[in-house]
Structure 1
């Protein structure tokens, strides 16, 4: 058994899981290995509030199944489904990518926006900001046009469209930081960061950093050991 972090993908896409796991592993800076567990009952990409709410039950199930084998858990969907319930039921740290990225984006009272691809999740994102106490700092949520799933399949188009939303958050909404709102958008977030002088926030690294703060024994010089989380 390895000491590792578990990343839960509430979407059912294995390719998305692999991408998010790679981002999370880089973000640990060799502190711990990252294992990934993928939901089976959700769509490949959560794009509606009903999907988000329905995914919470399986997130909790996965977390409870693996909690004894890991030192911390990341819920890697932007609505943080199941986060609060899972956190109450396990003795290890649990963080969500929305929670963590909003903490970073709002540092020092900084107004921030969200650029994402899922217009049907705007209300859920705004509700999450309210629940976390950041509603007054949220300048707006800008969404790309068209089908989110189709856009996610075209990396260049996805990055271009999200970049336009980042520009709108900054220029029109006066955001001083912009979160790329979604676990499946992790690669696009990384690609956009160098293009703007305004901070562009990638949620998965934020969640890893927040989690490591809560694991005192995590040593940055520790070697990475491959970890898996079989279902």
Structure 2
């Protein structure tokens, strides 16, 4: 498997370089000698900046390039210029992970991609961007770079201030749904966890129709709030991040977007390295 990152097409501008160029021109006009000294100093400053690890690699454990692009763009927007985000897909996995077996089979590819990404000294953090976090613990054992799972971080975000929370998802597999309960217990949130609402219908078909997906998720979130008393609702899947942003204004209760939750933690690491 080759590591071929998707880089967001969002334009990036270096404020430091613009300021440095302006200062160099000003000094040149004052004195050519001082200008030469400043140019040398500028080169040193630019070299120091380039050595700062400020890249976040987002690994999509499935092979859906559109989902990878969507999640990487979302993380890039959340980073707001603080970090660069590179998205990479697990080409050996199916386009949608729907069962625990899918997760288990995707894990080796996630680890391989993560190990390769961690070899780049510019990489400050890695995000495993599937809700069940396949390969997360294994990858953490293999690399020194901090690794965040969108599932794990969304549980922590939802449980802030002891909020009761539920999960809305499109994957109906019973074993997968049961694993959510187990994860809540493992994090010490069993007293806050209110359960899962699964949208009706085929998840692959929903994934191909944004309007139907939004409607189904809206209903699931509403049921979580009205029937279970959820004070926050996790969108149970990386590809559900964009739908969450489309429907969140319909609710007073917060919708926890897993990609954003993990990106915020990764940004803390980037800020610490600066």
The TM-score with structure 1 as length reference comes to 0.91
User: Is this contact kept in 1: 2:54–2:270, CA < 8 A?
Assistant: no
Which of 238, 245, 249 is equivalent to 1:190? 245
Is the counterpart of residue 46 in structure 1 residue 97 in structure 2? yes
Partners of 1:31 and 1:210 in 2: how far apart? 13
Which of 257, 265, 272 is equivalent to 1:202? 257
Which of 73, 84, 99 is equivalent to 2:137? 84
User: Is this contact kept in 2: 1:80–1:96, CA < 8 A?
Assistant: yes
Which of 93, 111, 115 is equivalent to 2:168? 115
Partners of 2:192 and 2:128 in 1: how far apart? 23
Deviation at 1:37, TM superposition (A): 1.1
Unaligned runs of 5+ in 2: 1-49
Deviation at 1:125, TM superposition (A): 2.0
Equivalent position SS for 1:34:
strand
Corresponding residue of 2:11: none
User: Is this contact kept in 2: 1:32–1:218, CA < 8 A?
Assistant: no
Deviations 1:56-97 (A, max 9, x none): 111111100111211100000000111111112211111011
Corresponding residue of 1:212: 267
Deviation at 1:136, TM superposition (A): 2.1
Partners of 2:88 and 2:262 in 1: how far apart? 16
Corresponding residue of 1:225: none
Partners of 1:92 and 1:64 in 2: how far apart? 9
Deviation at 1:131, TM superposition (A): 2.2
Greater RCO (Cα-Cα under 8 Å, separation 6 or more): 1
Deviations 1:189-214 (A, max 9, x none): 11121110011111111100011223
Deviation at 1:119, TM superposition (A): 1.4
Q: Give the RMSD, CA atoms, in angstroms.
A: 1.4
The TM-score with structure 2 as length reference comes to 0.77
Corresponding residue of 2:146: 93
CA gap of 1:218–1:27, structure 2 versus 1, over 3 A, is farther
User: Is this contact kept in 1: 2:54–2:83, CA < 8 A?
Assistant: yes
Matches within 5 A, 1:57-206: 57-69=108-120, 70-120=123-173, 121-206=176-261
From the two aligned structures, give the one with the greater helix fraction. Answer: 2
Deviation at 1:218, TM superposition (A): 5.7
User: Greater Rg, structure 1 or structure 2?
Assistant: 2
Aligned residues: 219
Partners of 1:54 and 1:123 in 2: how far apart? 19
Deviations 1:156-192 (A, max 9, x none): 1101100100001000011000011100111101112
Corresponding residue of 1:5: 56
Deviations 1:14-56 (A, max 9, x none): 1111111111111112110100110012110101111012111
